[in-house]
């Protein structure tokens, strides 16, 4: 059974800090996390307003359907909290990631 790795990031327009906190709380309710674990299962904190999750492939016929579902969930959350902003949602089956300082140019 394969899995989809999902990244969701967002920004709010003319929002208060408490609005960001409320959105973050709602994202946790749909299994999106502020940390990512590598091969050694060590959790790494993600940048502000960036969330990740994995979803079982057998529950979705395609990554685009998963992105569509999560986009609708984000719209629901924004509507319920009366906030406006932008989102970016990515889902894929094969992935690699890097978390850390920006690598320096040589």
Query: 57-76, pLDDT tens digit by residue?
Result: 988 889 999 999 999 999 99
CATH class of 3-91: alpha beta
CA dist 14 and 82 (Å) reads 11
Give the DSSP letter of residue 33: B
CB 57 within 8 Å of CB 2: yes
Residue 91: band (very low, low, confident or very high) from pLDDT cuts 50, 70, 90 = very high
Q: Given a cut of 70, is residue 1 above it in pLDDT?
A: no
Note the pLDDT tens digit of each residue in 28-54. 999 999 988 876 777 888 889 999 999
SS3 label, residue 13: coil
Within 10 Å of residue 42's Cβ, how many Cβ atoms? 9
102 or 48, greater pLDDT: 48
Q: Where are the domains of the chain?
A: 3-91
Q: C-alpha angle 20/97/28, rounded to 5°?
A: 30
Residue 27: band (very low, low, confident or very high) from pLDDT cuts 50, 70, 90 = very high
Q: Given a cut of 90, is residue 104 above it in pLDDT?
A: no
Give the DSSP letter of residue 100: S
CA dist 77 and 20 (Å) reads 11
């Amino acid at each position: 059974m394969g899995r989809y790795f999902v990244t969701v990031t967002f920004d709010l327009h003319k929002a208060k800090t408490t609005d960001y906190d409320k959105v973050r709380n709602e994202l946790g309710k749909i299994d999106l996390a502020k940390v990512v674990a590598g091969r050694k299962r060590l959790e790494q904190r993600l940048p502000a307003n960036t969330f990740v999750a994995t979803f079982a492939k057998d529950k979705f016929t395609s990554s685009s359907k998963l992105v569509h579902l999560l986009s609708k969930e984000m719209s629901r959350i924004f509507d319920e909290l009366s906030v406006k902003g932008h989102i970016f949602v990515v889902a894929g089956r094969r992935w690699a990631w890097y978390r850390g300082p920006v690598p320096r140019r040589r």
